[in-house]
Each structure stands twice: as C-alpha cells, then as structure tokens.
Amino acid sequence: MACGIKIPGAYYQKVKGWVRGGGENNIGTGLDGVIFSALRGGGIFFYFLYVIPAFRLSLYYNSTMMINEEQFIELVARKLAGQATPAELTELEELLQQEDLKERYQFLQQYFSAPEGQSSADTEQALEKTLDRIRTGDGLSSAYNSEMWQESPGRRRWPLYTAAAAAVAALIAVFLYTRHDLPATSAPTAQAVQDTAQWLNRQNGKATRAVIELADGSKIWLNAESRLSYPEVFSRTSREVYLSGEAFFEVAKDQERPFIVHLAKGTVQVLGTSFNVRAYDNEPVQTSVTTGKVAFIPKYENSNQPPDTFYITPDQKVTYRHTADDIVKENTSGQDDKAWTEGRLVFRDASLEDICRELERTFGKKVIFESEGPRYFRMTGSFQNNNLQDILYYLAKSRQFRYKVTDSTLLIGE
C-alpha cells in the first residue's frame, strides 16, 4: 500500500518499546503524547504499521498459540480499514473460530465505526475520553478481568488490559478516516484516493425517500427514516457503505470488489445483485433478494456464539431477531419486498400495529392506539399510490376498527 508520508522512527520505537519491552518500563514516556503526535502528523499508516502491533501486547504472549501473530494483526488492520480482500476476510473468519482471538477482535470492533463526518477536534476529544477510561479502568474491567498495575510514587501506570491498545488504535483509524485535509501524495494511487475520500451522509425523515447513485454505478433507494453513509470514491479492494433503516440496492457487478453493507446488527455482502435490507432500530433485521445471491452475517448479542453466514437467493428472506439471537430463513416475494420503491405498500399477514408503523413512516403521521385490541388485528393487502384515507378505509372495512386522521396524528380505536 502506497503512502507518501514518512513516519518518524521515534513513534515506532516508543510503541515497539512498550510492546516488546513488556510495557511497564516504557509506558511512562506517555503513550498519549505519541498518539497525538501521530494524529497531528496525519499518517494513516502509523495506524497500520505501528499502533496495531501494540495489539500483540495481549494477544500473543501466550506461547501456546499456534498462529502467526503478524498475520493476524495485518488481517485485523486491513479488515477494519476496509482494505481486506475476500480471501483475507475468509482467512480472518477462520481465525476467529478461536475464542481468544474472537473476543479481542469483537472488543476492538466496538470502537471502530463508520465515519460520521465529525471534526478532528470532536474525535480528539473522544480519543482523550477513551484514554482516560483506559487509565482508570472504567468500562474495561468488566470486559477483561486483568490485573491492574500498581501505582508507584512519581509515575502514572496504566492498566494492562487486553484491548487497551486496540481501542486506541481503532480511534486513531476513525480520526484519520474522517479527516478530509490529509496532504496529497506526489504519486496519487487508487488507495490514496480512498484514504482521503470524503464520506457522504444521506438521512431521510418521515414521508421522504431518495435515490442515490454511487461512484461505481450502483443505485440505492433509501426509504423514510433511514440513513446511508458512503464514500465519494471506493477503494481498490472493496465497496462499503453503512445503513440504518431500509434501502433497496442495485449493485453494479465487480468481481474484484465485494459490496458490503454494514448494519448495527449484522453485515450483508455481495458482488453484484439486487436486494432489500430493512434494519430499523428496535425491529428485526430483514434481508431479501430479488436477483443474484447475498450473504448475511448476523452480529449476535451473545458474543460466545460462533459467527454464521446465511446465503440468500432470489425470493428468499432472512429475518434476524437480535434480542433473541433468532434467525429464520423463508421464502418470500422479492418484488413485493421492494414494492415501496415503486409507490406500493404490500402487507402479508401483518399486524395492524406493524402496518401503522409503516403508514407513520410513509405519511408522516404519529400513530396513537386508543385501545389495545386493534394492535393485533392481522391483515393482508396491497395498495398502489393510494392516499392515507383510502388505505385506512379498506383496512377498517376488513377488521372493523375506528380511525381519525388529524394534521399530525392517526388515532386508532375499537
């Protein structure tokens, strides 16, 4: 990977001394000073080459481990930076079958999120807060029952937690990815373009939809109350976006670069296909396929549960209820699942409560149930570009309930 930014050897020596020297004799030099020097320098490969190796502090002092530490560190760095190839992702998934590695990887992953466009000042504040947590042990002791180093006169000691260095490394990566003013290299490459690419955010409110075309030619229909984060330019090895809410994807084919959709409760990966993803807060995650093939990888609430991959083909759907770590794969109609992109609302044996939740998003009316009974009425129907009054009229005829529409609310009663 090309960089064009020289990393002062002092940074490497300080981190290397901390890692290889056992930490205690070197940490007093002030790792936070090293980190903020690196941040001001803006060298993203400080993260890849020098900070991530601090990860080995806790990973590989166990001489019984039968894997290559350099390989694991490199794979983690490339995965979290969005640069891992499909083969590397498969290799990492196999390594994560080992409980110790999986545990540490999950802890690091908590700190690595999609760029949100925050300022460097905001990110430095977040980093400082995390450093404070590492120093005091707040928020980390429950995750790892490691012993604290004892305080000695004239020196401030740090807790030797398995993931402390990893958490710092992840925040550095987030910081560098959100900076849009990194200096240009003398010989720009596709990778350098990705490193400095601006991340764009599109967020829809109620009763709002949007169509987004990405740099690779892929198209995304973004539903109401949904948010999509995506780069202006994709990297050479992968295409990654972040979704909260619902979207339909038509992904341009590219055998060399998988298309990855990151969700709060899982990941969807494809090469070229069309599929619908529904991932609203406090609702089950649903992924259905219209054309091609999709892999859904749930993020289990139970961290001890081994990772799974569910492959979905046309007219199949996976529903993941994360509160119970329950996954159901079933047949569906891919065309019906994308109906909302064409102005159609399709309900199949849905409760009135679920239907009204969809009406609330579509028409921007707050739904209030004045009695509990109607919530559980189950109905099936399809509506093409109908207004709210028409939809309610036909629904009420089928199950006999009262409704009233005001400027801002929809009232439902018996």
Helices and strands, counts by H and E, the chain: 13, 18
- DSSP code of residue 288: E
More confident residue, 225 or 55: 225
Q: What is the mean pLDDT of residues 58-69?
A: 43
Residue 24 has a CB neighbour count (10 Å cut-off) of 14
d(CA 42, CA 44): 6
Structure tokens, 184: 């240009």
Q: Which residues does 235 contact at the CB level (< 8 Å), separation at least 6?
A: 82, 83, 190, 191, 194, 257
Higher pLDDT, 68 or 387: 387
Q: Please check the confidence at residue 353 and state whether its pLDDT lies above 90.
A: yes
Between CA 123 and CA 132, with CA 126 as vertex, the angle to 5 degrees is: 145
Say if residue 242's pLDDT is above 90.
yes
- The angle at the Cα of 38, spanning 36 to 41, to the nearest 5 degrees, equals 110
Determine what percent of the chain is predicted with pLDDT higher than 90. 44
Look at residue 217 and give its three-state secondary structure.
coil
Q: pTM surpassing 0.85? A: no
The residue with greater pLDDT, 127 or 91, is 91
CA angle 8, 123, 78 (to 5 degrees): 60
What domains lie within the chain, and their CATH numbers? 9-178 (no CATH), 197-336 (2.60.120.1440), 343-413 (3.55.50.30)
3-state secondary structure (DSSP) of residue 382: strand
SS3 content of the chain, % helix, strand, coil (to 5): 35, 25, 40
> For residue 295, what pLDDT is reported?
95
Give the whole-angstrom CA distance, residue 245 versus residue 224: 8
Please check whether residue 158 is in contact with residue 135, taking contact to mean a CB–CB distance below 8 angstroms: yes
Note the pLDDT of residue 106.
65
Confidence bin at 69 (pLDDT 50/70/90): low
pLDDT score recorded for residue 101: 77
Checking if the pLDDT of 174 tops 70, the result is no
Q: How many whole angstroms separate alpha carbon 172 and alpha carbon 36?
A: 9
Smallest CA-to-CA distance from 170 within 42, 79, 233 is with: 79
Question: Is the pLDDT assigned to residue 179 strictly greater than 90?
Answer: no
CB atoms within 10 A of CB 402: 12
- Residue pLDDT, tens place only, 273-325: 999 999 999 899 999 999 999 999 999 888 788 888 999 999 999 999 988 88
Check whether 260 has a pLDDT greater than 80. Answer: yes
d(CA 308, CA 303): 12
Amino acid letter at 374?
P
Res 233: pLDDT: 93
φ, ψ (nearest 5 deg) of residue 326 = -110, 130
- The predicted pLDDT at position 314 comes to 95
- Encoded tokens for 124: 């430095």
Banded pLDDT at 57 (limits 50, 70, 90): very low
Q: Which residues pair with 15 in a beta bridge?
A: none
Does residue 143 contact residue 163 with C-beta atoms inside 8 Å?
yes
Most confident range, picked from 28-32, 122-126, 183-187, 374-378: 374-378
The predicted pLDDT at position 330 comes to: 95
For the chain, the C-alpha Rg in angstroms (whole number) is 25
The per-residue pLDDT for range 84-115, each reduced to its tens digit, is 676 777 778 778 888 777 766 765 555 444 34
Q: What's the confidence (pLDDT) of residue 107?
A: 58
Here the contacts of 58-64 (C-beta below 8 Å, separation 24 or greater) are: 58/104, 58/146, 58/160, 58/161, 58/162, 58/163, 58/165, 59/100, 59/101, 59/104, 59/162, 62/100
| 71 confidence band (pLDDT: 50, 70, 90) | low
What are the tens digits of pLDDT across the range 357-403? 999 999 999 999 999 999 999 999 999 988 999 999 999 998 889 99
Q: Which of 74-83, 123-132, 148-157, 320-329 has the lowest mean pLDDT?
A: 148-157
Q: For 189-218, what is the mean pLDDT?
A: 80
CA distances from 135 to 13, 38, 156 (A): 22, 20, 9
Structure tokens at 213: 């075309």
212 DSSP β-pair partners = 220
The amino acid at 163: A
Average pLDDT over residues 225-251: 95
**What average pLDDT does the structure give for the chain?**
71
Identify the CA nearest to 258 among candidates 278, 243, 242, 238: 238
Confidence of residue 43 (pLDDT cuts 50, 70, 90): very low
Distance CA 200, CA 97 (A): 35
- Report residue 213's pLDDT band, with 50, 70 and 90 as the boundaries: very high
